[in-house]
Amino acid sequence: MQRLEIPFECESPDIDESQIEGETPTQLVLRLAEAKARVIAPAHPKSLIIGSDQVAVANNEILTKPGNHNNARIQLAKISHKSIIFLTGLCVINTTSNKVQKDCVSYTVHFRDLTEDEIERYLLKETPYDCAGSFKSEGTGISLVQRFEGEDPTSLIGLPLIRLSEMLRNEHQEFPLIPD
C-alpha cells in the first residue's frame, strides 16, 4: 500500500483459517480474503476495506506455513526442482455502498534443484517459518528460483497491487502519482 501512496491502517482479523472439506485452494483464499475484510468492516464506516489471503499449492496440495525450521526444511526439499503456484485471494469492500469486489491472482514459482546445504543456509538467513511454502521472494529466497511466471509479481508478497489498483480505481480511489 505504501507503494501506491494511499494512506491506510492495518488490522489483523481473528478468523478461523481452516480449509472446509471439499474446498479448492482458490475457493479457500477467496473465502478467507472476504471473511477478513468483513470482520474489519463494521468498525470502519465510509471506508474501503481490503482483505487478502494466500496459499501455496504444489501437486494439488496446499503448502501451509511451516511454523518451524524442520518443517520448512522438509517443505523446501519437497519442492526442489518443482513448481508451486501461489494463490492470493483479494477482496475490497466499500462500507458506504456495500459493494464487494473479489478476485484470485495466481503466480507460479519454478524452483531450481536445491541442495540440502542451500536449503539450510537459506532457512538460517531468512527464517521463513510464517510464509506459505517456506518461501520469501523479497530476500535471499530469490536465489532458489529458476524462473517466475505470472502477471503480478507483487502477489508473491501477499498483496497483488496491480489487481488491487484496478479494484480501487473501480471505487474512484485517486492515486497521488497518476495524473488525470
Query: pLDDT-based confidence at 7, cuts 50/70/90?
Result: low
Would you call 97 exposed, middle or buried from its count of C-beta atoms within 10 A (0-12, 13-18, 19+)? exposed
Q: How far apart are the first and last CA of the chain?
A: 20
Residue 18 phi/psi, 5-degree rounding, is -70, 145
What DSSP line would sit under 112-151, residue for residue? ----HHHHHHHHHHH--TTSGGG--TTTGGGGGEEEEEES
- Of 53, 103, 117, 152, catalytic: 53
Give the pLDDT confidence of 75-98 residue by residue, as tens digits.
Answer: 999 999 999 999 999 999 999 999
37: left (phi over 0), alpha (psi -120 to 50) or beta: alpha
Question: What architecture does CATH give domain 25-156?
Answer: Alpha-Beta Complex (3.90)
Instruction: Enumerate the domain spans of the chain.
Output: 25-156
**pLDDT of 31 higher than 70:** yes
Global pTM reads 0.87
- Distance, in Å, from the CA atom of 22 to the CA atom of 109, rounded to the nearest integer, reads 25
- Distance, in Å, from the CA atom of 97 to the CA atom of 175, rounded to the nearest integer, reads 21
Active site (annotated) includes residue 180: no
Residue 98: partners with Cβ closer than 8 Å, 6 or more residues away: none
Joined together, the cell numbers standing for residue 46 give: 465510509
